[in-house]
Structure 1
Amino acid sequence: MSRTSTESVTPTPAVARRHRLPGKALLGLFLAGFVSILTECLPAGLLPEMSRTLDTSVSLTGQTVTLYALATALGAIPLARATNKMPRKHVLQLALGVVAVTNTLTALSDDYLLTLVIRFVAGLGTGLIWPLLGGYAARLAPAGRQGRAIAIALAGTPIGLALGIPVGTWLSGLGGWQLAFHASAVATIATMAWAMATLPNLPGRPAEARFTISQALVIPGLRTILFALAAYMVAHNILYTYITDFLSHAGMAGQTGWVLFAFGVTSVLSVLVVGTHIDRHLRKLAVGSTAVFAASVLVLALFTNAPVLVYVAVAAWGFAFGSSPSLFIGAAINATGDAADVAQSVTITVFSASIAVGGLTGGLLISGLGTASITWAALALLIAAAATVIGGRKHAFPRNS
């Protein structure tokens, strides 16, 4: 993600090819991230139907999302270390295979405890995928374009988050909640086939090149990045997990699908815009992402009874959030150099744990203080995240990035 000089000489076709991003391979990484987060989010739009099949409450059924995120958080570091020497495509295919099988088994299960076990295993599969994507993309990209490659590879995460709930709800309406999981399994198998055909099988890292977690954590800037990421992602998940409750509180319960559509459209737009500029302006983009997200939440807190402003705020939130995984993981890769593989595993652990913490915190806030409290709690966290990003000008988000 370093700066590159602009040459006035027109490149030859051979040089142009060397500087071209490997679009088909990056699409494979994008799809891997997409099906992973789609699998995680699916139950959120299917809870009433799933709870009837599993003969349990909606709140208990919701723990299928929490447990998935927890498994990803717990598995990211040890699984990345255990597979560090394996060829990268082999690891990705193994993980996608786990996700495909567990999606199929989830659709077939009518036992609550068995479903929880299956979802935990599925989360472990994702724990293998997410730490892989950023480093894989960076190694595939030509010099000076790693940031854009990472943004493309990680774009599946925000798009999956935006589409997971509405897609699950739509498929459930067509053929029951089981159809959503069968469809996700088919999409995962298709992703495996695409990745097999398009991704080069890059070697793993030799044992002597590894860093320990403690060695990575003392690298200047990484802890700052992790704190900012945690505050940002907990704030996002406090709001996003309970967006239906918030919209009901705002008198917009019938517009949930359209609000999520606005979020999804601007998330995709964010990927396009940020991917173009991330290699040269990572710091500015990170500061802008946290600031715009905070401003959006402030509008949601103050103007709950103004539907037009709610739409504008949610659209701005989607634009701020869309490429946030790329920004934080890109910052971690920049800050840690040779320890980037370990840093990515730690970053994914924080990312996944924040999903679980955000969901739990939002539920406690709504139960104890009411729905309006989630906006103010999210705003406080985002102010902390913005201050951390702005203050990390030396190592975490340096001015020359």
Structure 2
Amino acid sequence: MPAAIYVFSLCAFAFGLSEFVVAGLLTTIADDLGARISLVGTVIAAYALGAAIGAPFITALVAHWRDRQILLLATALLGLGSLLMSASPNLVTLLAIRFVVGLGHGVFMAVASDAATRLVDPQRSGRALSVVWIGLTLALAFGVPIGTYLGSLWSWRVVFLSIGVLSVVGMLGLALCMPRGAAGSAPSRGGAWKGIQAIIHPQLLTTAGIGALVSVATFSFFTFVSPYLQQVTGVDVQWLSLGMLLFGVCAIAGNLLGGALGDAMDGDRSLQLALCALALNLLGLYVFASMPAMMMLLIGTLGICFFCIVTLLTLRLLKQAQRLIPAYSPVAAGLNIASFNLGTALGGAMGSLTISYATLASVPLTGAVAAVLAGTVLYRLARRRHGSRV
């Protein structure tokens, strides 16, 4: 595997830590800035919104630039943004900086995902993609707990300074390892307007829609995992912490599994199996809600299913784009990132509606319905593709 792909993973870890670590620092940030926790929580949404916009639209606008240049600039934005976040005097400033850094996050993940699949043979593209994305899952599984601890020991500002240092290391790695020539660059691209047009390709939008449904399925439950475990399952905070740890650790396994399946099997078949597993997993979270040990197991396998599907869908979109719009394949990766971010927000809204009009215990059923719908859309697409070949 080329060294550049491991550098992509390191940078993805830095971006992921910048996005997720705030969840563990909300109280200390609120105390330092003199703001309510409910308002400080919006800094997470501001970052996700930036990533959702930056991934497809900013990537499309700069698609005619060289990959190396885009990745270096996005990582530099993270470094500068982390420095500014650490010095933020108030919540409004922090929100604005988080949104801008989120834009860079979306662009980096889109371009790095596409570049990784072109730096290796097609037979290894799934594993290359999983290495890039494992940086995000490592940030979720290990970076957030460590960052939360350091934030409580010193200051949340030190955590963001550390992310800035990590981004500088990533920039050096990109400068040294990212190929300057054709091996690291996409085919010749046109102007920004053609990049924008690539976003609305029907086949790419359909696959991105499946990704949004997968996020709705997962996060309609996971957004409310804390009250679900404490009120429905009836466990204490120690069980909740174990569940969160299992989800993060198993997410790493899911990432690697998705890459292996993408290389070893037909893409649509492996996706159908993973979507079926996701629906059954969510159904199990409803059926076995009163059994703490079984719930821990199912929360872990939820992490496996979700991140396996993330890798497989990203690979599917990139292969579609490299076939249909080869000059703008990074835009497809951006669409995928945007769909997962938007689906995450919509999943939280669907979970809230379920709680309001049904019960908290019914939340996993909402997720299972979304997973079945995603599987149905994929099945119809596969049937249509097979019929066109006959």
Match among 44, 47, 58 for residue 68 of structure 1: 47
CA shift digits 1:142-174 (9 cap, x unpaired): 243222222222222333334454333322232
**Further displaced range: 117-126 or 169-178:** 169-178
Is the 8 Å Cα contact of residues 41 and 65 (structure 1) preserved in structure 2? Answer: yes
Rounded Cα–Cα distance in structure 2 between residues aligned with 1:167 and 1:395: 48
Bigger helix share:
2
1:365 to 1:178, Cα distance in 2 relative to 1, 3 A: farther
In 2, distance between residues paired with 1:240 and 1:135? 28
Change (3 A) 1:386 1:61: same
CA positional deviation for 1:322 = 2.4
The farther-off stretch of 210-219 and 275-284 is 210-219
Question: What is the CA–CA distance in structure 1 between the aligned matches of 2:338 and 2:48, rounded to whole Å?
Answer: 9
Could you say if the C-alpha distance between residues 212 and 188 of structure 1 is closer, same or farther in structure 2, counting changes exceeding 3 Å?
A: closer
Take 1:26 and 1:397, find their aligned partners in 2: how far apart are those partners?
34
Unaligned runs of 5+ in 1: 1-20
Match of 1:87 among 66, 85, 100: 66
Q: Give me the whole-angstrom Cα distance separating, in 1, the residues matched to 2:198 and 2:84.
A: 39
The answer to whether 1:230 aligns with 2:209 is: no
Is contact 1:37–1:157 with CA below 8 Å preserved after alignment? yes
> In the TM superposition, what is the alpha-carbon distance from 1:131 to its structure 2 partner?
1.3
| Partner SS state of residue 234, structure 2 | coil
**Structure-2 change in CA distance of 1:36 and 1:50 (3 Å):** same
Tell whether the 8 Å contact from 2:60 to 2:199 is kept in structure 1 after alignment. Answer: no
Moved more, 363-372 or 153-162: 363-372
1:187 corresponding residue in structure 2 = 166
- State how far apart, in whole Å, the 2-side matches of 1:56 and 1:114 are: 13
**Contact 2:60/2:196 (<8 A) preserved:** no
Q: CA deviation at 1:141?
A: 0.6
Bigger mean CA offset, 359-368 vs 102-111? 359-368
1:227-271: CA deviations, max 9, x gaps? 211010122233333333333223332223221221222222223
Instruction: Give the whole-Å Cα distance in 2 for the aligned partners of 1:189 and 1:246.
Output: 40
Does the C-alpha gap of structure 1 residues 388 and 160 become closer, same or farther in structure 2, counting only changes over 3 Å? farther
1:282-305: CA deviation from partner (whole Å, max 9, x where unpaired): 223212222222222212222222
Partner Cα separation in structure 2 for residue 396 and residue 264 of structure 1:
35
- Once the two structures are TM-superposed, the CA of residue 218 in structure 1 deviates from its matched residue by 4.0
Correspondent of 1:280 among 258, 264, 283: 264
Query: Conserved in 2, the CA contact under 8 Å of 1:85 and 1:203?
Result: no
**C-alpha distance 25-287 of structure 1, shift in aligned 2 (>3 A):** same
1:299 aligned partner: 284
TM-score by length of 2: 0.87
What residue in structure 1 maps to residue 34 of structure 2?
Answer: 55
Asked if residue 320 in structure 1 is aligned to residue 305 in structure 2, the reply is yes
Secondary structure of the equivalent of 2:21? helix
Cα 1:246/1:188, change in 2 over 3 Å: farther
Give the aligned partner of residue 228 of structure 2.
Answer: 246
Gaps of 5+ in 2: none
Instruction: Compute the displacement of 1:368 (Å).
Output: 6.4
Point out the more displaced range, 382-391 or 364-373. 364-373
Aligned residue among 334, 342, 347 for 2:336: 347
Q: Distance in 2 between matches of 1:209 and 1:85?
A: 6
The equivalent of 1:329 in structure 2 is 314
Letter in 2 for 1:159: L
* Residue 251 of structure 2 is aligned to residue 270 of structure 1: no
What does residue range 111-190 of structure 1 map to in structure 2 within 5 Å? Answer: 111-163=90-142, 165-190=144-169
Q: Distance in 1 between matches of 2:349 and 2:227?
A: 14
**CA separation of 1:383 and 1:163: change in aligned 2, threshold 3 A:** farther
Aligned residues of 2:46 and 2:98 also touching (Cα < 8 A): yes
1:382 matched to which residue of 2?
A: 371
CA displacement at 1:313 relative to structure 2? 0.3
Could you tell me the percent identity over the aligned residues? 24
The alpha carbon displacement at 1:43 in A equals 1.3
In terms of mean alpha carbon deviation, does 341-350 or 121-130 score higher?
Answer: 341-350
Q: Taking structure 1 as the reference length, what is the TM-score of the superposition?
A: 0.85
1:333–1:344 Cα contact (<8 Å) kept: yes
2:19 paired residue number: 40
Could you report, residue by residue, the CA deviation over 1:296-336 in whole angstroms, capped at 9, with x for unpaired residues?
Answer: 22122222221111111011111112232221111112223
Conserved in 2, the CA contact under 8 Å of 1:299 and 1:313?
Answer: yes
Return the alpha-carbon distance in structure 1 between the equivalents of residues 168 and 384 of structure 2: 40
Distance in 2 separating the partners of 1:382 and 1:333: 22
> Are the aligned partners of 2:234 and 2:290 in contact in 1 as well (CA < 8 Å)?
yes
> Residue 216 of structure 2 contacts residue 347 of structure 2 at CA under 8 Å; is this kept in 1?
yes
Partner of 1:15: none
* Aligned partners of 2:126 and 2:258 also within 8 Å: no
Asked if the contact 2:17/2:163 (under 8 Å) is kept, the reply is yes
> What is the rounded CA distance, in whole Å, between the counterparts of 2:108 and 2:387 in structure 1?
28
Quick one: which amino acid aligns to residue 290 of structure 2? N
The residue identity in structure 1 corresponding to 2:248 is G
2:385 & 2:85 partners in 1: Cα distance?
40
For the residues of structure 2 that align with 1:90 and 1:176, how far apart are their CA atoms?
Answer: 33
